[in-house]
């Protein structure tokens, strides 16, 4: 990232505490916009509230504005317009080192010439904390990230995962109430990323601090977050719990970005309650509709690959179609099958690797089925 390590402290919050039972607003973005050249808006009219003790993830592709939002909250960037408040007070004009925020970056930003203990103790020493208190806080922070006994090692003697644990401990050692994390696991291999995802989540639950986390990895966001804000082109497309984002994407961008979806264009022919009939190429599909849809509206139907059943008994599902197998890929615990259906040759199904599925070969014609609840009709206007 190229940012210099900055250390923050607050007088409140405490390691080993519990999440607040009655959350209140901790962070507010009020009409926040950011441009660097006066023409292109990196963030545009952002309205976002983060509750105290919440784990909120800003998720989106590169260039979507999520990191800029974090940097403005940290104090490394200033909004072009709008206001950011922490605990009800504007932080406009307050320098980064006075905001009381802990920050963790992807590149660790540890001092290479200092031991682990020295890295953690330095910001406490700068604040004039007594040596005995510094030692106690360093010990607590290292125990929290399961790095006790590593105080005397230099960063170069640690693995990438261990260095990031130390970076997290350093962000917590001064006991902030708000912690920001910018792609902290991006430099680690898959196994270490998954391990530290659960470690960070555990730490959050133990401390009850507010965490605002940035990532482009949707699985990471789903595993760790209370809520996820999905960013695209400087705006939030949808903000909700991971389950709601996955099961009820409000816009086509979210349906495409969160998990994998088969997306089929069609026209609504009938609406009854929360279910609609959609005319698609080759037949009619019954879907749960999200948003305000009426007869004659264009729509996009989203069907999750893992919800599709192969060779169902006739009449089992509201949606049953004959498809041609294009390709079968073995992926260990499941098979990824590509079909020609609805006039497109990239309709995907993910099926458990059980006896019988291996008999399906390219060019076979098979029946596929799924329930109305397993497909969602989205508003077509945001395609």
Tell me the three state secondary structure of residue 165.
helix
Same domain (yes/no): 280, 363: yes
Q: Which of 1-15, 173-187, 364-378 has the lowest mean pLDDT?
A: 1-15
- The answer to whether 175 and 10 are in contact (CB under 8 A) is yes
| Whether residue 228 is found in the same domain as residue 311 | no
What is residue 100's predicted lDDT score, i.e. its pLDDT? Answer: 86
Pair (36, 87) in one structural domain: yes
Mention every residue, 6+ apart, whose C-beta is less than 8 A from residue 265.
280, 298, 299, 300, 301, 380
Chain mean pLDDT for the chain? 89
279 within domain boundaries? yes
Q: Give tens-digit pLDDT for 279-323.
A: 999 899 999 987 788 999 999 999 999 999 999 999 999 999 999
Give yes or no: residues 371 and 272 share one domain: yes
> What gap in Å lies between CA 256 and CA 181, rounded to an integer?
25
11 pLDDT band, cuts 50/70/90, is: very low
Domain region containing 213: 25-101+176-247
User: Does residue 65 lie within any of the structural domains?
Assistant: yes
Q: Is residue 140 part of a domain?
A: no
pLDDT band at 355 (very low <50, low <70, confident <90, very high): low
Structural domain includes residue 254: no
Burial class (CB in 10 A: 0-12, 13-18, 19+), 368: buried
Band (pLDDT 50/70/90 cuts) for residue 358 is low
Together in a domain, 331 and 372: yes
Question: What is the pLDDT, as a whole number, of residue 381?
Answer: 57
Q: Are residues 219 and 288 in the same domain?
A: no
From CA 2, how far away is CA 107, in angstroms rounded?
8
DSSP code at position 282 = T
Whether residue 13 has pLDDT greater than 50: no
Which pLDDT tens digit goes with each residue over 187-213?
888 888 999 999 999 999 999 999 999
| One domain, residues 80 and 189 | yes
Same domain, yes or no: 372 and 317: yes
What pLDDT shows up at residue 273? 86
pTM: 0.86
Residue where one domain finishes, among candidates 247, 276, 291: 247
216 in the same domain as 185: yes
Q: 145 in a domain, yes or no? A: no
Q: Is 235's pLDDT higher than 50?
A: yes
pLDDT grade for 18, boundaries at 50, 70 and 90: very low
Is 280 within the bounds of a domain?
Answer: yes
* Dist CA 344 CA 105 (whole Å): 42
CA dist list (Å): 55 to 10, 214, 241: 19, 11, 10
156 falls within a domain: no
Rounded mean pLDDT, 129-147:
93
Q: How many domains does the chain have?
A: 2
Could you tell me the CATH number of the domain that includes residue 67?
3.40.50.300
* Lowest model confidence (mean pLDDT) among 21-25, 155-159, 164-168, 278-282: 21-25
């Amino acid at each position: 990232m190229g940012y210099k390590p900055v250390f923050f402290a607050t007088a409140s919050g405490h390691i080993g505490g519990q999440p607040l039972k009655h959350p209140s607003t901790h962070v507010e973005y009020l009409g926040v916009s950011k441009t660097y050249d006066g023409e292109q808006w990196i963030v545009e009219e952002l309205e976002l509230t983060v509750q105290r003790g919440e784990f909120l993830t800003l998720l989106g592709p590169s260039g979507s504005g999520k990191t800029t939002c974090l940097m403005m909250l940290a104090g490394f960037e200033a909004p072009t317009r709008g206001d950011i408040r922490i605990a009800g007070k504007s932080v406009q004009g307050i320098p980064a080192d006075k905001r009381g925020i802990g920050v963790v970056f992807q590149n660790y930003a540890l001092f290479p010439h200092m031991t682990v203990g020295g890295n953690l103790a330095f910001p406490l020493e700068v604040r004039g904390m007594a040596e005995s208190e510094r030692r106690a806080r360093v010990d607590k922070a290292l125990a929290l990230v399961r790095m006790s006994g590593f105080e005397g090692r230099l960063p170069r003697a640690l693995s990438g995962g261990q260095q990031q644990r130390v970076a997290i401990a350093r962000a917590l050692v001064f006991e902030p109430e708000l912690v920001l994390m910018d792609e902290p696991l991006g430099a680690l291999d898959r196994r270490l990323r998954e391990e530290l995802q659960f470690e960070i989540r555990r730490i959050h639950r133990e401390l009850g601090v507010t965490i605002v986390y940035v990532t482009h990895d949707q699985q990471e966001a789903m595993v760790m977050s209370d809520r996820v804000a999905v960013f695209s082109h400087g705006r939030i497309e949808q903000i909700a719990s991971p389950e709601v984002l996955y099961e009820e994407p409000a816009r086509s961008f979210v349906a495409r970005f969160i998990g994998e979806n088969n997306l089929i264009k069609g026209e609504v022919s009938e609406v009854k309650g929360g279910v609609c009939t959609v005319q698609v190429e080759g037949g009619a599909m019954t879907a749960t509709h999200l948003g305000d849809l009426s007869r004659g509206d264009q729509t996009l139907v989203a069907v999750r690959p893992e919800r599709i059943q192969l060779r169902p008994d006739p009449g089992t599902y509201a949606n049953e179609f004959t498809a041609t197998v294009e390709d079968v890929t073995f992926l260990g615990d499941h098979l990824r099958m590509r079909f020609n259906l609805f006039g497109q040759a990239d309709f995907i199904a993910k099926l458990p690797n059980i006896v019988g599925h291996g008999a399906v070969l390219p060019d076979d014609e098979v029946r596929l089925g799924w329930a109305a609840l397993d497909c969602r009709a989205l508003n077509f206007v945001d395609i």
